[in-house]
Amino acid sequence: MALTPKPDRDFPWWLVILLVAGAVLFYEMLANPVYAAALNTLAKGISITIIVAVVAYLGACLIGLGLAVMGLSRHIILRQAARLYIEVMRGVPIIVLLLYVAFVLAPLLVVAVNAVIEPLGLAPWRTRDFPLIARAVIALMLAYSAFLAEIFRAGLQAVPQGQIEAAQALGLSGWQRFRHIVFPQAFRLILPPLGNDFVAMVKDSSLVSVLGVTDVAQLAKVTAAGNFRYFETYNVAALIYLTMTIGLSLILRRIKARLRETSER
């Protein structure tokens, strides 16, 4: 009887190919003045890309966890409110949500803030004072929180009910049961899909270029429009994103392997 191969134990030839191709491209970028100029310009947007992705993802995790807890609540109003939010956010394309937050929600927030601060004698807040990068982070946060809520919900429901009942029998409060029993076990289960969504967040952060945020994608668009070297410029942009996402994927694979080894002990 033939044994089923285990893909996780295969030698990563795909990684070797990517590393060789990446090394060749990086050498070409350093040797070719067009590539070198594009890399020097686009590298300035890496920090913006990372900041947008990390801040938006952390905020989305907090909102998603809250939605997951609401979805498992004993109160039907909380459950239905969480489900409404999740379905709406999952049904709206991220780029549409970006534009909506930037040009509809942000001005409404400015009006609401002014209604509070103007009676206090403070200077009114102008819409242009609301940074575009903040609008982009809010939009990504709202969009990804709906998807992360489903991941958190699945992880929380995967914790054996017997352990929760045992903790309850020991006199632990609801918060103590969640903090010491439920969430630690759920987090171990959902860490791989959470990591996958973070990689997706890094890629989707390129959408903030539609708002003019100077991330890698926006700088690539502006640079290519200026030098008309689209092939070289977008090669550099693709290589930067591939370096970030593949690096994150390798880290996640290592974490997943460590978790598997720990659970097998």
- pLDDT tens column, 4-52: 556 566 777 888 888 888 788 778 777 888 888 888 899 899 999 999 9
**Distance (Å, rounded) from C-alpha 140 to C-alpha 55?**
10
- pLDDT tens column, 184-193: 888 888 888 8
CA 249 centroid distance within chain: 13
Q: Is residue 181 a contact partner of residue 164, using CB atoms and an 8 Å limit?
A: yes
**Distance (Å, rounded) from C-alpha 108 to C-alpha 233?**
38
- pLDDT tens column, 178-224: 888 888 888 888 888 898 899 999 999 999 998 888 899 999 999 99
**Distance (Å, rounded) from C-alpha 240 to C-alpha 237?**
5
- pLDDT tens column, 120-174: 878 888 888 889 999 999 999 999 999 999 999 988 888 888 877 787 887 778 7
Q: Is residue 211 a contact partner of residue 136, using CB atoms and an 8 Å limit?
A: yes
**Distance (Å, rounded) from C-alpha 212 to C-alpha 222?**
10
Q: Is residue 236 a contact partner of residue 26, using CB atoms and an 8 Å limit?
A: no
**Distance (Å, rounded) from C-alpha 103 to C-alpha 138?**
12
pTM of the model as a whole = 0.86
* Domains along the chain with CATH numbers: 46-219+226-259 (1.10.3720.10)
